[in-house]
Structures are given as C-alpha cells and as structure tokens.
Structure 1
Amino acid sequence: MGEQLNRDQERARDLRRIKLAATALLVFTAALFIVARHFEPRHWAWGYVAAFAAAATVGGLADWYAIVALFRRPLGLPIPHTAIIPRNHLRIADTLGEFIETNFLAPEPVEARLREVDFAALVADWLSDRERSSALAGFVLRLLPQSLGAIEQSGLKDFIGKRIMTELERIELAPLAAGLLSAVTEKGRHQRLLDELLAALEKVLTNEETLEALREKIRKELPALFNLYRADAYLLRKIVASTSAFIQDARADAKHPLRVEFDSFVTNFIDRLRSSAAFARRAESLKRDMLARPEIVTVAEGAWDSLRSFLEQDAKASDSQVRRQLEAMLVDIGGQLARDPAIRAEINRGMVRVLADFVQSQKSGVGRFIADQVKSWDIDMLIGRIELTVGRDLQYIRFNGAMIGGLAGLALHALEQGLKLLP
C-alpha cells in the first residue's frame, strides 16, 4: 500500500511538470507569433517564423482542448461532446464487461491458457512436501469433529444407512459368493485354508482335555467288560494315531486324495452357487432374514458410535494415528503423480475440461460483475487514476501537436509564397 502511494505521488509530480512544460510551450509559441508579426515588415524571414508560431499555437491549443475534453469540460464551458468519459461512464462499464466476456473469456483462449498449466505437477510437488501434507492432514483432522457432528445433525447418517441397506438388498448373494470363492481358488488359496483346518484339528487331538472327553465318550459306548481291560484307552490311542498320521500325510502331499476331494467339493459348490436356483433362493432368504434382524441395525449404529468416538479421541491426540496415515497417504499420492506422466496428463485434461466449462457457465456473470464494479467507481477517482496512468503520454501529444502544426503552417506559408512568384 505504501509503495503504491509513493508511485502515485511520483506520477502526480511528473504529470504536473509535463503539463507545465506543455503550457509553457503554448505560451511561448503565442508570444513568438506576436513578436514575429511585429518584425515581419522588416524582413521576409519573420513571415515564416510567424506562420510556424501561429500554426504551432493552434495545434497545441487544439490538442489541449481534445485532451481536456476526454476528462472534463474545457474551462468549465458546456460545450457539446466534452467530458466524454464522465458522460459515458455507464456505457463504458457495460462495453468493458461485454468486451472481456466476449474476447478474454472465449472458449478457445481460455482452454489454450489452461492447457499451458500443469495442474497435476503442481499438486504432486505440493503434496510431495511432507510439511505441506502434514499441514493439510492437520487441517482435515481439525475439521473432522465438526464434520461428524454435522453428519449426526443433518440426518445424513440415517440416509447413508438406508442407502447401504438398499444396496445390500439389491446384491445377489449367490453369484457374489461364487465370484469370491472363484478368486480364492484361482491360485490355490483354498488349499492353504485346508492346511489351517488340518493344523487346527491336529492341535485339538493333542489337547489333554479333548482326549479325556473323547475317552469318556468311548467308555460310554463300550460294554463294561471291555472297560475292565482299559480298551477305551487303547481305542483312543489308535484313533488319535491314525487320524494324526492321516492329517500329516494330507499336509505333506499336494496330491493327497483329501486335497483332491476338497478341490472337487469347492468346485462343485461354486458351480451350484452359480447355477442352482434353489441355492440362490436359500441365499436370498438367508440375506433377507439377516438384514431384517434388529441386531444388524444395532451393530451398525454401534459401529458408527465407536468409529466416531475413536476419530474424535484420535483427533485430539498429539500422536494421532489418523493424521500420520493421512499424511503418509498424501505424500504417497504426490509421489505417484510425480512418477506417472499418464495419470498427470489425464488429470490435466480433466482439469481443463472442468475449468473451461466452469468459465463458460460463469463468464456472463463475470462480465456483469466487472460492469457493476466500474459503474460503482467514483468518476472523479476514476479520471484521476486514468490521468496518473496515461496523462504523461497524453501531454506529449500537445508537444507533438505544436510541432506538427508548426511544420504544417511553415509548409503552407512557403507554398503561398511560391505561388505568389508564379507569373
């Protein structure tokens, strides 16, 4: 603000000096004309001086009138077609707004200018700076409690819950389960699941409490005579040993019959999920029964409350986990953008389309805004700003007018004298 004031004061001083010089030149040419006319009878050369001075005075005076008429009425006289800018203030404002809307905000120049900007690179550079990403993560985290409160008060939570339930009802459970199981079986992941099950079963068979329960079960099934000879313990050992050996063989052999049978079972189950109408009806019935149970709604509400409580507490913590994760995610996004020119190009194309469409939809409003702003300006202040900006150049027109007028007068006087010499 201070620098602008200093520049304005310097311009005002320069404008006063150039105005004074132009006025002095006008006075000088007028005085020179009077002197030349006085001495013209004594020598023919004074006639040329007088012609030059007269035409220079007229040219300088005419240009002074033209310049003053732009901004105000010369000498305060109500001369028509003067004070051009004040009288046409509103029209100038409308024309300026229309000109900017039509030329500066046309689709072609706007899109061309937007294509010169690498928006994605700017975003990538900004996000790659960890301090900036940390500041952005902190800003988002500070807004989190207010956002959660707004969701609660606005009914958005209920709306989202209903939308989720609606979408869940639309999902066909059997084809979805078939697709998920197919993805699991593509790389033999279901065999790893079988390995886990076999390991768990083997662990159960080594548990003393489990073995005791099995022995008790066998004892109840055997006749009392066999129990006298501890047949229950013998049978239990044989069963456990055989089962453990079978499990170890299955776990060690990739082509074990159990694995083949498990493959066949999973494949058939997936096929039935895909093709069996009865399976599909049972799956849909199970889904509807589950969604209709009040426990599901209670679990959903409890999950929301737990999530909100965690987020609010974490947002207040000095070592917020969410902030760290969000910061790392933002930095990673910046790095990926910087490394992938294809994604940057796609983002830039999208930004150009979005911003260009936005400018086109709002350009009439921009034109009206500019026109309204110009109309609201104080006309005296506006004229003062224009004079400070271009007034110095306008005053040089007065110098040029005096010089060109003087030369023209000199040429006409010479022509006149030449014509007099003709017979």
Structure 2
Amino acid sequence: MRRVATGLLVAMAALFLLARQFQGAHPAWGFVLAFAEAGMIGGIADWFAVTALFRHPLGLPIPHTAIVPENKDRIADTMAQFLQDNFLIPPVVARRLKSMNLAGAAGDWLADPAKGGSTRLRDGAAELAAQVLESLDPDRLGNQVRGGLFRQIDKLEVSPLIGQMLGTTIADKRHMPVIESLVRWAGLTLEDNEQMIRDLIHARANAVLRWTGLDETLANSVLDGLYKLLAEVIVDPDHPLRAKVEEGLAKLAQDLQHDADLRARIERLKGELVGNPAVSVWWQGVWERLRAAMLDRLRRPSGEASGQLAEALTELGKHLRDDPQLQLQINRFARRTLVGISVRYGTQIVRLVSETVKRWDAQTVTTRLESAVGRDLQFIRLNGTLVGGFVGVVIHGVDLVL
C-alpha cells in the first residue's frame, strides 16, 4: 500500500508535466493541470502528515515530527490511564461479566470430545508439572520435602495418637486377625527352629537324662505342649492367653495416652529416628523413586492415571454444562473474584502495560504501531491525493467562472 500511494503521487507528477506541455491546446487541459497540481500537493501533505507521526520526514529534524517515538513514555502512561479509567473499573468489569456464562463455556469445552478440552487441559497440566519437576534440583527438592515432612512429624505427638488408634482397634475387635496372624507366625517360627530347641534341651539336660533318653522325651513334651497351646489359641476365641494379650494391649493403649514417662520415651525414640542419618539416606532413595514414578506417569498421557483424570474432567464439564444452578454459583464467584482483582490489582496491571511500552525502544514502538494501523495510513495518502485533485478541479472551475 505504501508503494501504491507513492506510485499514485508519481503518476500525479507525470500528469502535471503532461498537462503543462499541452496546457494551451485545449481548455480541458487546464482542469487536468489543476487536478494533477492539487493532487500532488494533497499527496505530499498527507505523506508528510503520515510520516511525521512515526519519524522525521527525509530525516530532517523538523519540529513536531516523529511524534510517536518522541512521546513514547507519555503515550504509555496515557494508554495505561485510559485502560484503568475505562476498562478496569468495577462497574465495567461486573457489567461485562454479567452477560458472560463462564461456567457454561468452560463446561462445554471440557465435556465436548470434539473440542478435546479435558484432554488438552490434562496434557497441558501434565506437561507443565513434568517441566517444573524436572527443572528443580532433585536433591534440594527432596531435602525440602523431607525437612517439611520431618518438621510436621516433630510437631506431632505420636504416642497419644497411637494409643487412640490401638484403643479403637481393640474396641472394634479389629485386632483379632492380627493376634491370629501372630500366633500362626509363632507356630511357623517354632516349626522352623524345632531342632534348635531340641539341641538346647539336650545341652541343658544332665548326664542321667541323656543316658536314659529322657531328654528326648522332655524335648518332645515341650514342643508338643507349645504346638497344642498355639492351636488352642487359634481355635478358641475365648482362650485365656488371648485375654492376657488383649489385656496387655489395652493397658498399652491406656499408657500411651496417659503415662507421661512412656510418652516421653516414645517422643525421644521418634526424635532419634528422625535425626538418624540412615533415615535421611533411606528417604533420599524413596524420594528418587517417587520422583521417577511421577515423571513417568506425567510423561505417559495415555496411562491409567491420565485416563482417569480425563474422565473426571469430562464429568466435571458435563455437570458445569447441564446444571444451571451450579453455573449461577460459579459465575457469581468468578464475577466477584475478577471485580476484586480489578479493584486490588488494577493499578499494577496498567503499570505493567505502561512499563512494558516504556522499555521498548523507539523503533520497536514505531514499527508495532505502524504495523497495527497498517493499510489505513496509506489510504490516507491515497485519499489525500485524489481529494486534493478534485478540490483543485473545483477551484479551477470557480476561478474560470469568476
């Protein structure tokens, strides 16, 4: 468009020279000459006006030219103030948001498979989380997570908590399978170490018992008695040994909650465990495995977890799309939130605009504004050339009449 406008100006100059050459041949050439002369003047004047907005015409430092680059900072402040006074004020924001169904639009986007809202949101969130996780120093992040976790553990008094859990478990009879498992484990341990028990009895028996073979009989009796005892405990829910175990557990639960000495010992053990270097080494290994697992899941968008997330987002979108009451509540919340943001942070938002424009160099501002206005600037030159020419014809005609 710049070349077209310049070409029209050159054409006017050529027409002017031609009209001057044949001016006396016919009265009509006078109108052509007036049209071309006035068109050149109008084209040159508008070229000067358009150019003066963004730069010095022909590089000459004429006053009041290069208006945009010379007043860049003032333009930035004026633009920011205009935004704040006309857009970022609560009535305008509230009125605009009142006519918008943000929740419905979000629900339609998430629920529609053709739009893929839930998939894109899931993939975008997964990629962002993976990039953040990869960009952070794994050792430092692991230490920070460990420090935060251990600080919370240190603040928590575990003894009453364990006591309450144990007491509730006993009251609900949920400890019975644990006792049975312990008894079975004791039976298997006894079976695996039967020979060691026999050897221990043989070693402690005197020579007479060993000579008569009674030590073997004694060992068999001891083992048979233990096996019988364990079997009776498993079979009989009301066995006295079970009652003793339950009594001991109940007393332990009570002491964990109310015995100051036991609670202090538990706290000391907890502190020693948390402060043990071996625990730190163990945690670092656990953290590395957790981090690798999280990255693997985030990098596999078709995995089970990603599919579940996509289904959940789609279901959320359907609720948002189909539930007018939910839409009303969410839209009201969004409107109040955004109005509050415009009140609290409107100044910072427009300051960001102002400071960003101020940081641009003059050439950048000139190029961006000129590109934004674009073709219309050159149409000003075209119109100026043509309108000037027609005005010249009118003036020439009036001059002939007068």
TM-score w.r.t. length of structure 1:
0.57
Q: In 2, are the aligned partners of 1:65 and 1:74 still within 8 Å (CA)?
A: no
Residue 202 of structure 1 is matched in structure 2 by 187
Please point out which of 381, 384, 402 is paired with 1:395.
381
Residue 74 of structure 2 is matched in structure 1 by 94
Residue 68 of structure 1 is matched in structure 2 by 48
Cα deviation 1:382-417 (Å, max 9, x = unaligned): 899799754531232124413652686599789x89
Residue 169 of structure 1 is matched in structure 2 by 154
Cα deviation 1:148-181 (Å, max 9, x = unaligned): 2x67xxxx94x77766554333212233214544
Residue 368 of structure 1 is matched in structure 2 by 355
Change (3 A) 1:99 1:230: closer
What is the CA–CA distance in structure 2 between the aligned matches of 1:359 and 1:17, rounded to whole Å?
50
What is the CA–CA distance in structure 2 between the aligned matches of 1:297 and 1:17, rounded to whole Å?
85
Q: Report whether the alignment pairs 1:282 with 2:272.
A: no
Change (3 A) 1:333 1:393: farther
Change (3 A) 1:269 1:294: closer
* Gap regions ≥5 residues in structure 1: 1-10, 40-45, 418-423
Residue 340 of structure 1 is matched in structure 2 by 312
Q: In 1, are the aligned partners of 2:119 and 2:310 still within 8 Å (CA)?
A: yes
Please point out which of 6, 10, 22 is paired with 1:20.
10
Shift of 1:65: 1.5
* Gap regions ≥5 residues in structure 2: 110-116, 321-325
Change (3 A) 1:195 1:369: same
Shift of 1:95: 1.3
Residue 42 of structure 1 is matched in structure 2 by none
Please point out which of 109, 120, 123 is paired with 1:122.
120
Q: Report whether the alignment pairs 1:247 with 2:233.
A: yes
What is the CA–CA distance in structure 1 between the aligned matches of 2:264 and 2:80, rounded to whole Å?
65
Matches within 5 A, 1:11-410: 13-24=3-14, 27=16, 31=20, 39=27, 54=34, 57-58=37-38, 61-62=41-42, 64-72=44-52, 84-96=64-76, 98-99=78-79, 102-103=82-83, 106=88, 108=93, 121-126=119-124, 147-148=138-139, 157=143, 166-181=151-166, 189-207=174-192, 208-209=194-195, 211-212=197-198, 232=218, 235-236=221-222, 239-240=225-226, 242-250=228-236, 256-257=238-239, 261=243, 265=247, 268-269=250-251, 272=254, 276-278=257-259, 281-291=260-270, 293=272, 296-303=275-282, 324=296, 327=299, 331-341=303-313, 361=348, 363-375=350-362, 377=364, 389-402=375-388, 405=391, 409=395
Of 171-180 and 210-219, deviating more is: 210-219
Shift of 1:125: 3.5
Shift of 1:139: 9.6
Shift of 1:71: 1.9
Change (3 A) 1:193 1:76: closer
Change (3 A) 1:364 1:382: closer
Q: In 1, are the aligned partners of 2:19 and 2:30 still within 8 Å (CA)?
A: no
Change (3 A) 1:372 1:140: closer
Q: In 2, are the aligned partners of 1:138 and 1:323 still within 8 Å (CA)?
A: no
Change (3 A) 1:372 1:327: closer
Change (3 A) 1:293 1:368: closer
Change (3 A) 1:285 1:338: same
Q: In 1, are the aligned partners of 2:157 and 2:267 still within 8 Å (CA)?
A: no
Q: In 1, are the aligned partners of 2:201 and 2:219 still within 8 Å (CA)?
A: yes
Shift of 1:285: 0.9
Q: In 1, are the aligned partners of 2:69 and 2:363 still within 8 Å (CA)?
A: no
What is the CA–CA distance in structure 2 between the aligned matches of 1:259 and 1:327, rounded to whole Å?
55
TM-score w.r.t. length of structure 2:
0.60
What is the CA–CA distance in structure 2 between the aligned matches of 1:199 and 1:390, rounded to whole Å?
91
Cα deviation 1:332-351 (Å, max 9, x = unaligned): 553333211376889x9999
Structure number with larger C-alpha Rg: 1
- The one-letter code of the counterpart of 2:351 is S
Cα deviation 1:356-376 (Å, max 9, x = unaligned): 799854541332222331435
SS for the counterpart of 2:66 is helix
SS for the counterpart of 1:206 is helix
Shift of 1:216: 5.5
Q: In 1, are the aligned partners of 2:73 and 2:357 still within 8 Å (CA)?
A: yes
RMSD between superposed Cα atoms in Å: 6.0
What is the CA–CA distance in structure 1 between the aligned matches of 2:43 and 2:352, rounded to whole Å?
39
What is the CA–CA distance in structure 2 between the aligned matches of 1:411 and 1:185, rounded to whole Å?
114
Q: In 2, are the aligned partners of 1:68 and 1:74 still within 8 Å (CA)?
A: yes
SS for the counterpart of 2:391 is helix
- The one-letter code of the counterpart of 1:373 is W
Shift of 1:61: 2.5
Change (3 A) 1:71 1:186: farther
Change (3 A) 1:263 1:338: farther
SS for the counterpart of 1:20 is helix
Q: In 2, are the aligned partners of 1:137 and 1:326 still within 8 Å (CA)?
A: yes
Q: In 2, are the aligned partners of 1:249 and 1:256 still within 8 Å (CA)?
A: no
